[in-house]
Chain A
Amino acid sequence: RSHRLNHELMQVTVSLTDGQFHRYVLIPSESDYLWNNYYLTLTNVQDMYDRARATNNRNHMAVAMTVRAWLFQNLTDTYGDVPYFQALKGYPEYQITPKFDPQAQIYADLVAKLDTANALYDITKPFSPGTDALFAAEQSTTNMAKWKRFTNSLRLRLLMRGEAKSPEFQQQIRTMLADPTRYPLMTAVDQSAALKFTAVTPLLNPFADDRDYDFNGSNAFAEYFINTLNSWQDPRLAVWATSVSGKFVGVPSGYSLGDSPKVSAIASSRLNKTLKTSPLLGTIMQYAETEFLLAEAALKGYSSDSPKDHYEKGIRASMAYWGATMPTDFLTRKGVAYSGTLEQLITQKYISLFFTEMQQWAEYRRTGFPVLPKGPGLENNGQLPMRLTYPLSVQSLNKQSYDEATARIGGDNINAKIWWAK
């Protein structure tokens, strides 16, 4: 979805075959995949929690709660109000028509659950039994501690997202940042929550078997993304994009319907094919994002830290994650040098969220940054979609709850603003 939808909406890439997303057209069936798969996966996560609780395995419980919060956040960020408190109760309760819950309530509960998870961790013990694909926490207590850092970093992400809407959240942010011993956060690149892809199923990069056409043939990098990085002479470009005669060239996003041949004819930079097998594409949450969150929190006065310091650490972390060598003068270059604006901060964060689920889109909806150029072919009155509509199947399978929810959010359309985006 990051590649298919988020990158297109957020002008990282542009479809060369007319496409739809870069023109702000979302088809109803686009809504199915995420919804269906997240809920089915959540059943397993919930089951992990239930079983861990039965054996009082605190680390398993905390891990399950963290993964659960991560998945639910993605769901609610995409659709707004979703079934939460009554969800995942198909068996044995046979609750098959769960009510949709207001996003504010879902967020409040997720934040509370992550707090509980944080308290549950017993980082004197490794993850046991079983193996941990994310941090290999079965191997050492150091790795187990990475889970705890992920839990708190994720919690910070949620709190910052709801910060403008909830005084309660503001208080929680202060509490959290004031007590790093109790709430350890990610402090190093190798603490990033990222599923390391290998060349072997099931940890094969999901793009590995994709057609080249689908991966980088039918789309090119967008002008906005490339030009932004060009203006900084950013070394990450070489990692991500192919060059055209030594230059990185993007194509305009939001071009008019029918202009596809013109746009295709531009010799443009494409996604590096090596990304198809890169181990780095399984990003859940990078260390860099934590630093950008801390920078924003400091900027908004939630801590006495230096926003500049966190901002620069964030950039460094992103470079390191992607294996790009950062030029020594990079942090002083025009546009990169810290200027103290939220726009600059979020723009850097936007770059660092390359291939990170749909976080770029979420951050844009929350902050309005980065300011994206508007192409001539935009539909939807030039408004970037604010959410995905609910899957059509929900209308037939859970109609009453669906009707209640759509009445509450003001209609099931892509322009209805979700709670934290208002």
Chain B
Amino acid sequence: FGQQTLQTRVSLSAQNSRLDDVLTQLGTQAQLRFVYSGNTIAADDRVSLSVQNQPLNQVLDRLLSPRKLAYALVGQNQVVIRQAEERTQRPAATVTGRVTDAKTGDGIPGVNVLVRGTQQGTTTDVDGRYSLNVPSDRSELSFSFVGYLPQTIPIGNRSTINVLLAEDARSLNEVVVTALGIKREEKALGYATQKLDGNAVTDAPANSVVNALSGKVAGLNLTKTDGPMGSSRVTLRGESILDLNSPGALIVVDGEPISTGFQGVGHGAYLGGDSPVDFGSALTDIDPNNIESINVLKGPAASALYGSRAGSGAIIITTKSGKRDQKGIGVTLNSYISVDDVNRWPDYQYEYGQGTAGQNYYSYGTTADGPGTHNTSSAWGPRFDGQSFFQYDSPRDANGLPTARTPWVPYKDNRKDFFRKGITLNNNISISNNGDKGTTRLSLSHLKNDWILPNTGYQRISVGFSNQSQISTNLSTNVKLNYYNKFSDNLPTTGYNNQSIMYFLAFQNPNINLDWYKPYWVPGREGIEQSHPFSSLIDNPYLIVNEMLNKSNRHNITGNVSATYTLLKGLDLTLHGGLDAGYEFRSQQRPMNTQKFQAGMYRQQNVFNVETNTDFLLRYQLKPSADFQVTANAGGNVLIQSQKFTNQLADRLVIPGVYNLANSEQLPLTRSDRADKQINSLYGFVNLAYKNVAFFDITGRNDWSSTLPRQNNSFFYPSTTLSLIVSDIVKLPSWVSYAKVRGAYASVGYDARLGTYNLEKVYEPGVFPGELENPNIIANPNLRPQRNNSWEAGTEWRLFKNRLSFDLTVYRQLTIDQILYAPVEYASGYNSSLINMGRVVNRGIELTLTGSPIKNARGFNWDATLNWAMNRNMVEELNNGTGSVVLARYVGSRVTLEAREGRPLGELYGLGFKRSPDGQIVYDKTGYPLLTDQFINLGTATPKWRGGLANTFRYRGLSLSVLIDHQQGGRVYSLTNSVLGEQGKITATLPGRYDGLIGPGVTQNADGTYVPNTTKAANIVTYYSRLYGRDNVEANTFDATFTKLREVRLAYTLPPSVLGKTFLRGATIGIYGRDLYNWTKFPGFDPETSTLDNSTITPGLEIAQFPSTRTMGANLTVSF
């Protein structure tokens, strides 16, 4: 190794060949790479050479010395070529240049550029550019950056020095932002992390930052709601929590955890008094333009220091800061426009029209043909055979009686046409500046979304501010502030209920022209009586989008201020204060004569959330010997959370169309909630490093939480991790560039969540003035903290000169004593009980495989990343007396999501087909399928595994990225399928319409034996009701496997040669697509779905989901 490489014998014969081609050939033979900047070797520099089996260094000497070029081996296999040093005195001057990655040619931001022998230096800007004053007595610049080999370059008399930095193959190392914002080298970590650049969320933006992470992180699982706001629940390493209301992974922005939940409007998704609306949260409001990087700390070991909330892992988002740039002010503009449209539909049938079974005619109202058949929501009526009937559009006489029949035809776009193309337009400008003592960055964004439903959408204004100042040699300060204002004049109502568009669509019949609904008031009765020409059960969809409005205006501010003071050499004190505060004003209005609010309705809600974190951290670094490095930390934190929610309800209005509380028919009702919580913590941790090859960390933390009873409110939890760089300890084959093994154990304690006031019985206000009611929850004065104990082991390898690398993690997490509102039998007098319960185990594997199948000197590169993760969970024990916990019940308790002992967490239960011992469906004597008497297990809602394959092809400035996202397994109950099925609206209900059909299966004889079913089911409506009706949960539960073409992006970055002639410093234009195609057998819109119920996101259930969308967009980034 080492200098031996330069002794490698080479053979070559070249005639008038380009020097760079010759070097490439030599490099191939010697298995090394030459690194030099573009102007070092001229493109037209040609050589003739013939050598046989000569040492490489001799050949190089022959080639390079005449050209006044020097070379040096750097690391194992890189040879840097540069101009030979010229020892001439030169005047003080400003040197500028650009530092680029030797492999990709991209500028490297943040490179330390130092005048050798001084403290004078700078860092490169976002494009890798720097500018530095060099005193006359100094002659060399040093360039260094983590993960790259440092270089020292003589200045000579040049004023421009462009530098290529080569990756340090032996210890290619990323800096990872870990808990408490501490930056660590990736190799020192004993637990799994995954880092993404900001462009992971900006290249093909999704409706929420976390939704853009889909398929990019092994082990990241998103439970997404549909709709413009895109609230989602993020879990890492599978679900271990029985409480669906728990927030999942902790999301931290610049060291400040942000609120991911939102205050619901208190309504269920299935036929509630009103319906849920996704108003979004601080999480959905994050501006992706501001994001510098995202670090996913997957296990609790990574995040033990964030305390209770980080037991399910943490996603650490770092926003951008100003870059040191001696040129002064830098400006970047970034814009995108995207268009959404619906990418998938249920398989609607357009062969038969409205009507109940066996009706061979249609009549709008009672006519000469017979009684009216227009009221039914079912489509079991006559076939579209070119006949004519008295219909809604029949001409009418003065008495309103129809005078002629009109053609009986389907309107095949009468669902699709209700939607429009959604358009999102985003503009961002950021300005950064570098002063003498710090950097500042200011970013301003505006986003406007018109969602696919007419008259819905939102706007977002965001401001990001960052300042870093070196106030004195001992004191530095850091301020980051992000402000968001998101407002909407109408957000769509979700769920299966009046007021939701998807409810209407389930009832829309094939023979009804959507246009007939367009005049949504009865003429002359505007504002008082709506027009619903068919079933009066459903609200007119145009009334819904134009008059039933859900408005929101939310202000969020997330920020923190920190100051670090160096007390002694090696001893730093950091004080930090952080704030995440949000205020939202919402209003909901419903006009008169709407199905749920006959007298109209107006409600307004004030939502105020605040969390503050105040902490200190004392950090001491020492080096007791040359081989050891020790960092010891001690810190403390005070966390205060507060939530205030006021809902004022005027559910009957006096004057139509006037929406304010004063218009209430009776005194408006006010409901308010207020929750407060405080956790005080002390913690300490020690990092030990030995010879930079072995790293050992130990942490300990104690929390005191206000949500637990006094005797149990203090709890301690430790973690320990180990990382060994195997490739630096033992000699490995040369094709192994890097190998690391790691292991971690962590225990995390949790308190009860904010708003837990059930440690003792507390009466609640009742409906009568002055009335108190008993709570429906059984209080628990002996609640204990919950625990999550986990270990993980992992290994990371880089092979074949980094052409292939992988990172594999296995883990086991045990969650015990979960704090849960467990449903209890009502006869106890209560409906739930706050308890510690359960032992849930999650075991899993995470794999990230990265490769560069093609890496071409001509600049064509293909990089591929595969993320794959599987998780198996098991409810080992519940010890709640029943052996099961109902996590959620839906559709009038017909479907439950449960945790049962000895089973995976989150399985669906409901009635299903009665089956013979060999598994065949049993029919009754009249030919209709029979249902079970008891709930049966219908499979787990969580997938077997998930994986994402990202490919990037680059050719010079052009790049093409393709991300494919796959989920294997998981079951989803579809109410949409049930409703469409029982109403005869999907093609699956076409067979047997006139002559009945014989269901495949068996019937049971009186003696208990089974014989094949031969009875024809005469009434096809009864047949399909048994098959798809809401009671048959099994038949409406489907495999949620899907493969999605998640992201495709084609981008072009203007090369420096073009840019050099302009005032621009960089320009990139891209076109992209998101969710372009979805391969799945799921019958609804999208198997990747969940149900929003009040403020809970429930997986495994599709309750009238919104259509899934395909997004196509273009973005442009310009900096100058």
Interface residues of A (CB under 8 A from B): 17-18, 27-29, 32, 35-36, 39-40, 42-44, 46-47, 82-83, 87-92, 94-98, 133, 199-202, 209, 211-213, 217-218, 257-258, 260-262, 264-265, 391-399, 412
Contact = CB atoms under 8 A, between A and B. Distances in A.
A98 B825 contact: yes
A202 B651 CA distance: 13
A391 B892 CA distance: 11
Given A29-B892, A97-B881, A44 B886 contact: no
Given A17-B376, A39-B829, A396-B886, A44 B597 contact: no
A33 to B, nearest CB: 9
Contact of A90 (B778, B892, B934, B1019): B778
B217 interface: no
Nearest to A402: B825
Contact of A258 (B371, B767, B1021, B1031): B1021
A228 B826 CA distance: 40
Contact of A393 (B357, B776, B825, B911): B825
B263 to A, nearest CB: 23
Nearest to B601: A209
B124 interface: no
A40 B831 contact: yes
A163 B596 CA distance: 45
A257 B1021 contact: yes
Contacts of B59: none
B671 to A, nearest CB: 13
A308 to B, nearest CB: 43
Contact of B357 (A40, A44, A257): A257
B793 interface: no
Given A32-B892, A98-B827, A199-B666, 5 more contacts: A40-B831, A47-B774, A213-B537, A217-B536, A258-B358
B894 A29 contact: yes
Contact of A391 (B666, B893, B909, B1022): B893
A18 B827 CA distance: 33
Contacts of A32: 892-893
B402 to A, nearest CB: 16
Contacts of A392: 893-894, 935
A200 B651 CA distance: 12
Contacts of A211: 536-537, 595-596, 598
Contacts of B942: none
A322 B666 CA distance: 27
B954 interface: no
Contact of A91 (B376, B830, B881): B830
A256 to B, nearest CB: 9
A51 to B, nearest CB: 11
Nearest to B767: A202
B356 interface: yes
Given A29-B892, A264-B371, A87 B376 contact: no
B827 A83 contact: yes
A397 B893 contact: no
A397 B824 contact: yes
A391 B358 CA distance: 35
Contacts of B372: 261, 264-265
A65 to B, nearest CB: 16
Contact of A397 (B376, B651, B823): B823
B957 to A, nearest CB: 61
Interface string B139-180: 000000000000000000000000000000000000000000
B889 A393 contact: yes
Contacts of B76: none
B113 to A, nearest CB: 67
Nearest to A88: B829
A209 B882 contact: no
Contacts of B666: 199-201
B522 to A, nearest CB: 14
Contacts of B773: 44
A305 B1082 CA distance: 71
Given A40-B831, A264-B375, A399 B826 contact: no
A258 B595 CA distance: 26
Contacts of B883: 399
A375 to B, nearest CB: 16
A18 B371 contact: no
Nearest to B649: A201
Contacts of A95: 828
Interface in B805-840: 823-831, 833
B889 A96 contact: no
B884 interface: yes
Question: Nearest 7 pairs between A and B by C-beta?
Answer: A265-B371, A90-B828, A43-B829, A83-B827, A88-B829, A202-B767, A29-B892
Given A97-B825, A265-B372, A393-B893, A40 B830 contact: yes
Nearest to B535: A213
Contacts of A83: 825, 827
A396 B827 contact: no
A111 B920 CA distance: 51
Nearest to B536: A213
B825 A394 contact: yes
B649 to A, nearest CB: 10
Given A89-B828, A264-B375, A396 B357 contact: no
Nearest to A16: B375
B146 to A, nearest CB: 55
A211 B357 CA distance: 27
B825 A397 contact: yes
Contact of A261 (B359, B776, B892): B359
Contacts of A396: 882, 884, 886, 896, 898, 909, 935
Task: Indicate the member of B767, B826, B881, B1031 with the most A CB atoms within 10 Å.
Answer: B826
Nearest to A213: B536
A29 B911 CA distance: 11
B824 A96 contact: yes
Contacts of A28: 894, 911, 1031
A398 B830 contact: no
A133 B881 CA distance: 39
B783 to A, nearest CB: 13
Given A94-B778, A265-B371, A265-B372, A87 B357 contact: no
B373 interface: yes
Contacts of B597: 209
A209 B896 CA distance: 30
B833 A96 contact: yes
A260 B1021 CA distance: 13
A260 B354 CA distance: 14
B24 interface: no
B778 A202 contact: no
A407 to B, nearest CB: 14
Contact of B829 (A87, A218, A398): A87
A209 B651 CA distance: 9
Given A396-B882, A398-B825, A261 B778 contact: no
Contacts of A258: 356-359, 1019, 1021
Interface string B868-900: 000000000000011110100100111010100
